[in-house]
Structure 1
């Protein structure tokens, strides 16, 4: 039965009572311990009496149709439109957050439109979107809502795409990703110091999520690392990150290096020079990764997909989310040498292009 739209907090899962009477949230490795009326760091999960609740069920923001490459996903139905939405809050505290007005909002009512899972699925279907992206803030913090939206989308043949930092515990991780078809996981750096000092978290749980996705699920996933000058852009760190990806996840997993611009609490670092992204891409390819991309800059070479078998340009991209070349056959293989490109492809690309189109939801 379709759940009615909540105007009040919805029941949350993944918590237990401590001996001292507090309730511990077991969704993510923060393990927030809550007195009555208090909230976790994510702000949207809190204690109400003797239970944990989610404040943002049915309250969403940012409904827009984007190119799927903006998530970024380059090996998932290229050129197709994706309906993007998020809620308020986040379970990390990244000083460089570029969606901080949403992820760090403490005013869920101001930011949020009422949206049932059925309304979101209908909006995606009516607008011709092949996928719905859970993005802008981390969807693991609104797990209960996300899995219901995903179920409504799946019933209409619409895929679900998680844009996440992967900072989640094992039990909820399994439920969350069982509802997802694809993901882009933000691997923010490859040092514990960066995660602790800049993000307020830890590296190990993210690596555990990535290994889980590779070994235990059928979710198609790609990785993104935002390179911040002077923080996580050193040659040694980039090389170690790429070597770990190749060894633990496989050389065929796509890796995106994207450009930083000063924002929120991190304004002392300059924007990422394009040369830094090109250098990182070269180092990762030298480490054996087959599909390495650059983003947030106009770099047609770094945005395009190249065949590791013969070197042919398989998917040409202009660096602005527009596909301008396609050399895959109907089976997703290189027309020149037959190499199978990993991912999810159709006989030809979509033609959505770079446009970003706001969407208004209708009651259903």
Structure 2
């Protein structure tokens, strides 16, 4: 299913995508950084519209969300593409590769969510790869999910411009946002992005819906007391100490071969976080 993309401008012979902070200027026949938005004769198309690479009925705690309908389940859908290229990506086979997919229309997704309501499903989580580059599909699906009395959840890197984020927010009930580190050097070197737009997104999400934060703690990269302390101070000061924080243990994946984060590092990080925040959870231990 091809669908004309939203949030782009004509820039002949290119098109200028303004969905995320990359602001790609895309030549004819080419795609942007995310690999799923293509210029075809001056029109920008979403190449992943309706393409689902993974579907699973998960515990809500797996997203992870611990303070949003605990004990429930949610239908998790993922697609292709990402506007980051994190060296430790657990889902690089769909984020950075052309994995197999099947087509599920918005109506079919909602029907599947309703069918699984008897199994404790409360809605749809857009997850696995980066949902912001699936923008058009979520923009069309999320209102139908709401109309069916169900919930919409994003599991996201937060790398999206303010206008599209605000267009989507009225339909979103909960977000788990990755703040992957707390320096621009970490974001540019490890994730191939920038920190500042992610922090802006965090504030907008917090003001509009339920928000929980996740940070993957990577040894020798973002695990110093100084960087972690600065992150926890920012979350407490800008989002509120009631914001749940998930500290997730790193394991070797994709281009990263470092050994898993030591348990003592994770426990130290949690102790630092609990000095500032009310709800801190350790994951992947």
Q: How does the TM-score come out when normalised to structure 1?
A: 0.76
Q: Which residue of 2 aligns with 1:117?
A: 106
Larger Rg, first or second structure (1 or 2): 1
- How many Å separate the matches in 2 of 1:230 and 1:273? 11
Structure 1: 5+ residue runs without aligned partners? 1-5, 298-364
Q: Of 118, 127, 131, which residue of structure 1 is paired with 2:123?
A: 131
Q: Secondary structure at the match of 1:157?
A: coil
Q: Which residue of 1 aligns with 2:222?
A: 232
Shift of 1:178: 2.2
Q: Does 2:13 align with 1:24?
A: no
Q: How does the TM-score come out when normalised to structure 2?
A: 0.97
Give matches, 1:272-351, under 5 Å: 272-286=261-275, 288-297=276-285
Cα RMSD, aligned residues only: 1.0
Q: Which residue of 1 aligns with 2:5?
A: 12
- How many Å separate the matches in 1 of 2:153 and 2:263? 28
Q: Does 2:138 align with 1:146?
A: yes
Q: Does 2:254 align with 1:251?
A: no
Give matches, 1:168-187, under 5 Å: 168-187=160-179
Q: Secondary structure at the match of 2:86?
A: coil
Contact 1:140 1:176 (8 Å CA) reproduced: no
Q: Of 166, 175, 178, which residue of structure 1 is paired with 2:158?
A: 166
> Higher helix proportion, which one?
2
- How many Å separate the matches in 2 of 1:188 and 1:74? 19
Contact 2:82 2:130 (8 Å CA) reproduced: yes
- How many Å separate the matches in 2 of 1:281 and 1:174? 32
Runs of 4+ in 1 over 6 A off after TM superposition: none
Q: Which residue of 2 aligns with 1:52?
A: 44
- How many Å separate the matches in 2 of 1:69 and 1:76? 9
Shift of 1:41: 1.1
Shift of 1:140: 0.5
